[in-house]
Every structure is written in structure tokens, then in C-alpha cells.
Amino acid sequence: MDKIARHFDLELLNTLLVIAESGSLSAAAPKLCRSQSAVSEQVRKLEEMCGLPLLVRGKTGASLTPAGRRLVDHARELLARSDAAYRDMQGVQLAGDLRLAITDYFRPSALPGILRRVRDQFPRLHLHVSIRKSALIEEEAAALGDFDIGLSMAIWIKAAPEIEPPGRTPDCVASA
Amino acid sequence: MPGDGVLPLVVLPNTCSLQRFIVAKLNAHRVHFKIAHSASGVGGLHLALAAGLGVTCLNTSSVPESAVAFTGIPRLPPLPEVEFRLAPPRTGETAVISEVTDMLAEQFS
């Protein structure tokens, strides 16, 4: 028994709730995918933490003590809050497919790092990356093509303006 | 640079706008060149450069570390700059699309 524990274990509270709803430890055990002795041990832990008996074990099943009934009410509320928090995170951490169409010329050395960051930040996301020609990306972006994000490169034909727009890098000729 | 004064070019297929642009530019400046090697993508272009097969034209951010700027003869025409563009946001764009778009845009600076 951990004497300094001050937080209820949601697993244990869930066990108590399932026992209350199913009327006995033996009926609750299969619903919890645990043995009856494991369920009994969970109740014992909860009772030790509260310092009160929560269940009265009778021949026909288990019934809640007044303290047990109060704790079940709290348990229902806490578990509902926990479910809501979980669903909220599922919404934030979006799942699904993300289709990226990108030019071959865009920072080839930086791309692996970008893909890794996307994976770390959105682990439930399926990323599809296709390397395409810029002209095709721009054409399809206008026509609502088969990708979600398009990144293309365009040659700056006009004379360079005085203020550099962001995202432009000078061309250069390279040889081995 | 071989002694015949002909520039050995490493290129992508002419379906690539940048490659068409290079060839047109060299022709306009009457630079003699030959296609020494043709690659299917920038990765292959990098390999050909590393093998010393020739000269190519790349935007600064895709020049591999092992490459050096060509300063020999023939003199090459100056080049314009390039611009990277993110496809404009669409209506109904999800949060994840916006976030990944922002991550890509960070690379621009």
C-alpha cells in the first residue's frame, strides 16, 4: 500500500463502477478481462486508499456500503471526464491521410527532417509524399488536384526587385 | 572541362521546366554543350555530379555539399532567382494541413 498516494487510479475506479453495475465480483471479472481474485485485489487497494470498506461481500453478490455508493458517483464523473479528455486529444491529434506533392528541387537535404517532424507531431497521420514537376503541381492546385499540400518551384524571370520576397533562393551553376 | 570547349551537361528530362530553361539559355548565349548524362530526378543528378560527369544548373538549396561552382570556360550566362510556392489554402482546410503547411513555410526563411 502506497501511503502517500493522493490520486485515485482510474482503473481501480472503473473496476468499482463495473462491480456496482454488474452486481457481483464474479460477473464483473469477465467484463474487466481479469480474474475474480485480481478484481478482488483491486477493490482491496481502493479500500486501503480510502481507509473504508466499499463493498459488503454477501452470498448473492457484492453490495456497496454508503461510502462505496458515494465513491461510485465520483467514479462515474471522473471516468466521464477522462473519456472526454481522451476524445478531445483524438480530435487534436488528427488521424487520416495527408497527401503532399512537392518539387524535387525543394531542399532535398531538409525533407527527411520535415517528414520526421510531421510523423512525431501527428503519429496517427498517414503521409503520402509524391515528387512531381512544379508545373504539374501548380496546374493541379488550381484544379483541386489529388493532393492536400503542393510545394512548387518557379523561375523568377523578371528582373530582381529591390525587396526580396520571402522564399526565394538564388540559382547557381554547380559542377562536380 | 574537356579540351574541345564543349560543356558537358548533366540534365533531367526536358519535361522539367528548369532543364528546358537551361538549354534555352545556353543556346541563346551560344554556349556549346552536350548532354553528358541524363538523370530522372534531383537525387540522380546529385549522383552524376558526385561522379564528376558534368555541369548542371540547380537552385542553391538543392546544390549538394560536394559540388563546386563552375567558373571555367566557356563563361556561363547569369541566372535568375527561383521562387518556392505553397499551393494556396483551400476552403475547409483541416488543422493538420495548416500545421504542416506552416512547417514547410518555416523552411523558406
Q: Has residue A164 got a pLDDT over 70?
A: no
Report how far residue A155's alpha carbon sits from residue A141's, in angstroms, rounded to the nearest whole number: 18
Contact present, B88 and A140 (Cβ < 8 Å): no
Residues of B in contact with A169 (CB under 8 A): 59-61, 81-82, 84
CB within 8 Å of A105: residues ≥ 6 apart: A134, A153, B18, B42, B58, B59, B61, B62, B82
- Picking from B16, B69, B105, the nearest residue to A174 by CB comes out as B69
Name which of A171, A166, A141 is nearest A156 in CA terms. Answer: A171
Average pLDDT of the residues of chain A: 81
Question: pTM for this structure?
Answer: 0.56
- Per-residue pLDDT at B28 exceeds 80: yes
Span A55-78, pLDDT tens digits: 998 777 889 999 999 999 999 999
As a whole number, mean pLDDT of residues B84-88 equals 83
Search chain B and give the residue with CA nearest A159: B80
Q: Which CATH code of 3.40.190.10, 3.30.565.10, 1.10.1040.10, 3.10.580.10 fits the domain covering A96-151?
A: 3.40.190.10
Note whether B85 contacts A135, CB cutoff 8 Å. Answer: no
Q: Kindly state the average pLDDT of the residues A103-129.
A: 82
* pLDDT value of position A5: 57
Q: Which residue has the higher pLDDT, A16 or B101?
A: A16
Distance, C-alpha A159 to centroid of its chain: 49
B76 burial (CB, 10 Å; 0-12 / 13-18 / 19+) is buried
Among A28-32, A160-164, B80-84, name the one with the lowest average pLDDT.
Answer: A160-164
For A111, the grid coordinates are 525533407
Give yes or no for residue A139 having a pLDDT over 90.
Answer: no
Residues whose CB is less than 8 angstroms from the CB of residue B38 and which lie 6 or more positions away in sequence, other chains included: B10, B11, B12, B13
Mean pLDDT on A108-135 = 82
> Is the CB of A153 less than 8 angstroms away from the CB of B76?
no
Residues of chain A with CATH 3.40.190.10: 96-151
pLDDT > 90? residue B98: no
Q: What is the pLDDT of residue A172?
A: 43
Average pLDDT, integer, range A78-104: 78
Q: Is A173–B42 a contact, with Cβ atoms under 8 angstroms apart?
A: no
From CA A129, how far away is CA A137, in angstroms rounded? 13
So what's the architecture of A10-91 in CATH? Answer: Orthogonal Bundle (1.10)
Lowest mean pLDDT among A50-64, A146-160, B45-59: A146-160
What's the ipTM?
0.80
Ordered by where they begin, the domains of chain B are 1-82 (3.40.190.10)
Question: Sorting pLDDT into bands at 50, 70 and 90, what band is A144?
Answer: confident
| CB-side neighbour CA atoms (13 Å) of A17 | 15
Q: State the pLDDT confidence band at B3, using cuts at 50, 70 and 90.
A: low
Name the E strands within chain A. Answer: 55-58, 61-64, 96-103, 125-132, 149-155, 168-175
Smallest Cβ–Cβ distance between A105 and the set B18, B69, B90 belongs to: B18
Helices (H) and strands (E) in chain B, counts: 3, 5
Q: What is the pLDDT of residue A1?
A: 53
3-state secondary structure of A115: helix
List where CATH 1.10.10.10 sits in chain A: 10-91
Distance of CA A123 to the CA centre of its chain: 8
What is the spatial distance between Cα B82 and Cα A167, in angstroms, rounded to a whole number?
9
Three-state secondary structure call for residue B58 = strand
Residue (of A45, A46, A25) closest to A37 by Cα position? A25
DSSP state of B107: T
Of A138, A147, A172, the CB nearest to B63: A172
